[in-house]
Amino acid sequence: MTLFRHPQDRIPVLLFACVFALDLTVYFTAQSGWFPILWLAVCAIPKGWISAWNHHHQHVPMFRHALPNRLLEVVFGFQTGVTSHAWFLHHVLGHHRNYLDQEKDESRWKRRDGTPMGELEYSAITALVAYPRAFFVGREHPRALRIFLGMGALQLVLLGLLFWHNAYNALWVFFLPMCLSLFLTVWATYFHHVGLDAAEHSKASYNILHRGYNLMTGNLGYHTAHHARHGLHWSQLPALHAQLAKEIPATHYRQPGIPFVWFGSEAKVELSPAEIEAVAQYHPPAHT
């Protein structure tokens, strides 16, 4: 029996491992002060893409067993600034249940007076309160909260050891990229729902159909489909979008951000009727 729930996750996990290996190589070998800074700049956008895959993993764990999932989440924590079960609590058990209600949404885009926040205002506030909000959601889910707290403590210990060994390289290769990735991830989520007051999934999300964007983010652009069935594996979101497309208003589509906005096609992936029908038969696995 394979370790992976879905074979489509094999190549992404290999790529995450390669990026982490490169991080460690830079950390242990960089002698000049400028190279870790350059590495941060080079990896800023790719680690933002990895954040999307960390998000997918918290919806549908990539491995069948808990131990490899926890190990992958340590890697994700260093790459994205989002530690084990932080997304699961804040996003899966929080935002997905409450995003239609801006008084409860853990990623709410409205101010108290009902007006929309600006991009930087939303990004700064949501990033700063992400972990406290995850903790508050976790009080109603003690098992997930225990994993969140335990793995968070482990992540801090490992980060502390990296600083003890080489504080300068730890700062530029791990800590600052973690902070930056968290901020950029939150900034990206601003464009998923802002301005959409709706009571239906089909009218509450913006979608991005750009092939390159969806390749690098695991089909995160099919956001209406993701909210309609958030336990669906990322590989099946285009098929569900094809089922739901007639219900999505034409105004609920956006261009991708940099660098994808500079080039590429907006056409969605073409799917056969059999592939679309297969989505209806899918049942998500239990979270591990």
Phi-psi region of 134 (alpha: psi -120 to 50; beta: other; left: phi over 0): alpha
How many helices (H) does the chain have, and how many strands (E)?
13, 0
In the numeric block, which tokens belong to residue 60? 């549908």
User: Which tens digit of pLDDT belongs to each residue from 155-203?
Assistant: 999 999 999 999 999 999 999 999 999 999 999 888 898 988 878 888 9
Residue pair 20/79 in contact (Cβ under 8 Å)? The answer is: yes
CA–CA gap between residue 220 and residue 238 (Å, rounded): 10
Q: Which neighbouring-strand residues pair with 13?
A: none
DSSP string, 58-106: HHS-SBSSHHHHHHHHHHHHHHHS--TTHHIIIIIIIIHHHTT-TTT-T
Q: From the first residue on, what is the mean pLDDT of each consecutive set of 10 residues in the chain (288 residues)?
A: 89 96 96 94 92 95 95 97 94 90 90 90 94 95 96 97 97 97 91 86 90 92 93 94 90 81 53 47 50
Percent pLDDT > 90 in the chain is 70
CA–CA gap between residue 223 and residue 189 (Å, rounded): 11
CA–CA gap between residue 250 and residue 16 (Å, rounded): 35
Q: What is the pLDDT of residue 1?
A: 59
Q: What is the pLDDT of residue 201?
A: 84
Q: Which neighbouring-strand residues pair with 116?
A: 110
Residue pair 231/60 in contact (Cβ under 8 Å)? The answer is: yes
Residue pair 62/4 in contact (Cβ under 8 Å)? The answer is: yes
Work out the angle at residue 150's Cα, subtended by the Cα atoms of residues 146 and 154, and round it to the nearest 5 degrees. Answer: 165
Say which residues have a Cβ less than 8 Å from residue 131's Cβ, sequence separation at least 6. Answer: 86, 90
In the numeric block, which tokens belong to residue 119? 């991009």
In the numeric block, which tokens belong to residue 265? 């096609």
In the numeric block, which tokens belong to residue 173? 């290769």
Domains of the chain by residue range: 1-195, 200-288
